[in-house]
Structures are given as C-alpha cells and as structure tokens.
Amino acid sequence: MGINRTVSKARLLALALPALTALGCNTQKSAESPAASESPESPAPPALRDFSFGHGTPFLGSTPTDCGPLTLSTTNTEPFASASFRNNLSGNKATVKLEFPHPIAEFHLAVSYVRSDEYLAGFNVQPSKVSGTLVQGPDRVSTSQAFPADDGAGMLSWLGLNTEKLEFVVGGPPGTALALDGFQVSCRGR
C-alpha cells in the first residue's frame, strides 16, 4: 500500500517560491526573465534547476552545470512526477550523493511533501540554513507542519562551501516519501 503523490510544476513553484525569492533566485525561464535586459554588470542569479536529467530506480544521472558536470547517485530512490525524485516507500533510508569535478561555493536544494516523521540527515556538510516550513535540529531536517500533514516544503541551503561532494540520507516510515525537486549551484572561483 503506497502513496502515489504527483506534483505539478505550478504547485512546486508555489511551494518553493517564497524560499527562492528570499535567496534572490531567478524563478522565471530565461527568455521571460526581466534580468535578461539588465546590464552585464548585474547578471541574473542562476535559476532553480529540476532533476529531469535523472532516471531509473535507483534514481541517477548527470547534467552539465556552470560548475562542471553534476553527477547524482542514490540508493533506495525512484523518479517522482516528471522532474523530481523521492525515497522509495520501503521505509529503508535512501542515500543521495551529489558530486562536482571542482569545489562549489553554494548549493540550494528544494524539497516538498515533507511530513514531520520524514527527514534528511547524515550530512557530510551540515546545511547553513533552511527555509519554508523546514526546521533544522541537531541531527536532521524535517518540517514544522503538524503530523500527519504532508505539505511541508522549503529549501536547504549550503553557503560558503569548499567541497566537491554533498551526501545525506532521506528517511521516514514505510509508505512515506518526500520529494527532492530542484537545485541551484554556485561555483567557487570560476
């Protein structure tokens, strides 16, 4: 008995827009972006990218970024909707590894469908901050939404990084899953 949750891009954007705006992210397609007409001295902030490049169970893939190719590898995960992925419904912890060929300076990760008994933990580098309905405890990130609400969402942000790899686990009880929806990355010294 699993939960089949679907998320539209409009719902995802509505959930993540406050956090993205607070970070100064460009949430419009570049052709529609007002920043495209700004002077070269003030480049538009990078847009949130989705995980549509990934595939399979477990979910994995690689995509070019301004910081070089991002390689995503996971365990106990599956595709979710058209551009996200989630931990599978088994109750086994999922592992997520994001690797770059060069050190990165910042990384932002949008998540949704977080219940208070679901979490992200085991970070090789602790997030600098969380936003939206996410709350950061000493050993995990979850949501402030009261159980059994399934609409926790927000952004995990790592700032001031000097690493080529981020790793963490995603967990929760059997029959539950949270979605990893998009990311933004900034390079170090590039």
Where do the structural domains in the chain lie, given as residue ranges?
9-26+47-187
Contact 65, 100 (CB under 8 A): yes
Report domain 9-26+47-187's class.
mainly beta
Q: Which two tokens mark 29? A: 């397609």
Give the CA-trace dihedral at 155, 47, 178, 95, to 10 degrees. Answer: -90
Q: Which two tokens mark 153? A: 């969402």
Question: What is the value of pTM for the model shown?
Answer: 0.79
pLDDT along the chain (190 residues), means of 10: 43 47 43 35 67 98 96 98 96 97 97 96 97 94 90 96 98 96 88
pLDDT score, position 27: 41
pLDDT score, position 94: 98
3-state secondary structure of 37: helix
Residues in a beta bridge with 104: 163, 187
pLDDT score, position 34: 34
pLDDT score, position 46: 58
pLDDT score, position 188: 81
pLDDT score, position 5: 45
Contact 7, 86 (CB under 8 A): no
Q: Which two tokens mark 94? A: 């999922």
Contact 106, 161 (CB under 8 A): yes
